[in-house]
Amino acid sequence: MRSGRFAVTAELNPPDSADPQEVYDAAVVLSSVCDGINAVDASGANCHMSSVAICALLTRAGYEPVYQVSCRDRNRIAIQGDLLGAAAMGVRNVLCITGDDVTAGDQPEAKRVFDLDSIQLLHTARIMRDYGVYLSGR
Q: Which residues of 97-121 are buried (b: 16+ CB within 10 A; e: fewer)?
A: bebbebeebeeeebeebbebebebb
- Is the pLDDT at 1 greater than 70? The verdict is no
Alpha carbon 58 to its chain's center: 12
Report pTM: 0.90
pLDDT tens readout for residues 28-57 = 999 999 999 999 998 889 999 999 999 999
Query: Which is nearest to 69 in space by CA: 52, 54, 45, 47?
Result: 52
Longest dimension (CA), the chain: 46
Alpha helices, H only, the chain = 20-31, 51-60, 76-88, 118-131
Band (96; pLDDT cuts 50, 70, 90): very high
Q: Give dist(CA 54, CA 9) in Å, integer.
A: 15
Distance (Å) of CA 130 to CA 62, 80, 126: 25, 14, 6
Amino acid identity at 58: L
Domains (ranges, CATH) in the chain? 9-131 (3.20.20.220)
